[in-house]
Amino acid sequence: MKLLWSAMALIVLGLQYRLWVGEGSFSEVWMLQSKVQRQLESNQQLEDRNSRLDAEVMDLKSGYEAIEERARVNLGMIAHDETFFLVVSSTH
């Protein structure tokens, strides 16, 4: 009878080991769930960035004002009827 109880105890302990430590255990599932949550947050940030970039591309494709603004800011361009003033500060 003791042999039967010992065998059953070993079987239960073996099953418990896999449940808590082995492949597919609770700890592995919790770790994977946290990884999935972090990846979902990262994906959301990237989707937001892509939406902003898509809106900017559509604006550049359809609007002259956006192209003009980019040319002024990035390239220093001015229009035909504008006067350009360069203010130089003296730092002595």
Task: Report the C-alpha gap between 34 and 42 in whole angstroms.
Answer: 12
Task: Report the C-alpha gap between 51 and 7 in whole angstroms.
Answer: 61
- Angle, CA 82 vertex, CA 77 and CA 88 arms, to 5°: 70
* Per-residue tens of pLDDT for the chain, all 92 residues: 888 899 999 988 888 877 787 777 888 888 999 999 999 999 999 999 999 999 988 888 887 887 888 888 888 788 888 888 888 988 76
**pLDDT for 92:** 67
